[in-house]
Structure 1
Amino acid sequence: MPRVLVVDDQSNVRAMIAIVLRVNHFEIVEAANAAAALQAFADSSFDLAIVDIVLQGTNGFDLIRTMRERVPDLFVVAISGMTALDFLAESPELSNVACLQKPFRPIELMRAIEAVLGFRPSHDRETEVAGGAAL
């Protein structure tokens, strides 16, 4: 079962991502800020991190850089409701990051995860999870 670190300062966004991922057989650890994320990252290993780019007190870019300094091949999905993410490909330390603009639908989240992990989750449940509502 893949382990995922979900970092977002909005509890409702973390909860919805966690629901979608648990339905798709992922193990989830949630963090509300960069400090909690780094502590979780130090305490355990993860197959994937889903990181909000706009976090209170820091930014997700710095968090991703720090995690990738420790685990260079960490798979990452960056999410943001306020920042365009298309410039990520220009930054070498942030390469191979899938990007999602909020709000996004559960199927879009699963496709982004599939893109970075390189496999198809066991099943898509867009209409079953949150009624297909955007996250």
Structure 2
Amino acid sequence: MFRILIVEDDAELRQLFVRVLVKNAYTTVEAADGEQALEVLNRETVDLIISDIMMPGVDGYQLVASLREAGYSIPILMITAADSFTNMKKGFSLGTDDYMVKPVNVDEMLLRIQALLRRARMISERKQTIGSTVLNYDAMTVAYDNHHIALPLKEFQLLYKLVSHSGHIFTRQQIMDDIWGIDSYADPHTVEVHIGRLREKFKDNPDFAIVTIRGVGYKAVQQR
């Protein structure tokens, strides 16, 4: 499931975007301005950002510039009330991927989001590669060398999450929220159990290892 960060100081509009995106099977994270967005990105991973331009504090332009300077390649859809070529040009020059003018047609927004994710090779391929290992999301299979392993849903989603952001540390709570859901009543040790199963199944895999960061969480590390 793709996670989208909505950066908008208008709470009513922000909630509209949330409802539309959740209805269309996206997970959402919210921020009221660019500063909050940067704080979110320091602790969470997202697949796409929808950002207003005119916001108090750190505005949309500053947010985009900061992210691109920091090396983030996350697709960014800029939304603004200012319908001018100058504003559009500035946004694109800073690293915005697409641009919409308010009032926003949410059906068009969904199409643009899908296009941006396809461009990021996330929807069209639904695959992740680490070394010679290929994870196929649609088939929930992992292939490497002469091995072809089909995984249960939760195990695959957990491995896919780790491998998709190799080197990034995910806390147990982040994993629980993303894989089992925020309202899940799953046992707190569920993550450890699934990590153990994955390690056993891929103990001979030469491409990656799942590393425990004591007291923090887990990450996948590429080995070749």
TM-score (norm: length of structure 1): 0.79
Q: Deviations over 1:52-94 (max 9, x none)?
A: 0111123201101212233432111000012534314751x41
Q: Which amino acid aligns with 1:42?
A: N
* Residue ranges of structure 1 left out of the alignment (5+ in a row): 121-135
TM-score scaled by length of structure 2: 0.49
Measured in 1, the distance between the counterparts of 2:62 and 2:40 equals: 16
Matched letter for residue 68 of structure 2: R
Aligned residue in 1 for 2:10 = 10
1:102 deviation in Å?
Answer: 0.5
Mapped partners of 1:5, 1:78: distance in 2 = 12
Shift of 1:104: 1.3
Matches of 1:51 and 1:61 in 2, distance apart? Answer: 9
Structure 2 counterpart SS, 1:110: helix
SS across alignment from 1:58:
coil
**DSSP-derived class of the 1:55 partner:** coil
Tell which has more relative contact order, 1 or 2 (C-alpha 8 A, sep 6+): 1
Aligned counterpart, 2:88 = 86
> What is the match of residue 48 of structure 1?
48
In structure 2, give the amino acid aligned to 1:9: D
SS in 2 for 1:28: strand
State the one-letter code of the partner of 2:27.
E
RMSD over equivalenced CA pairs, Å: 1.9
Paired AA for residue 104 in structure 1: V
Query: What is the percent sequence identity of the aligned residues?
Result: 28
The answer for unaligned runs of 5 or more in structure 2 is 125-224
Measure the CA separation in 2 of the matches of 1:16 and 1:59.
20
Aligned-pair CA distance for 1:114: 1.7
**For residues 58 and 66 of structure 1, what CA distance do their matches in structure 2 show?**
10
CA distance in 2, matches of 1:31, 1:89: 19
Larger Rg: 2
**1:88–1:115 Cα change, 3 Å:** farther
* Deviations 1:15-59 (CA, angstroms, capped at 9, x unpaired): 001111001111100001111111001011110010101111232
Aligned residue for 1:29? 29
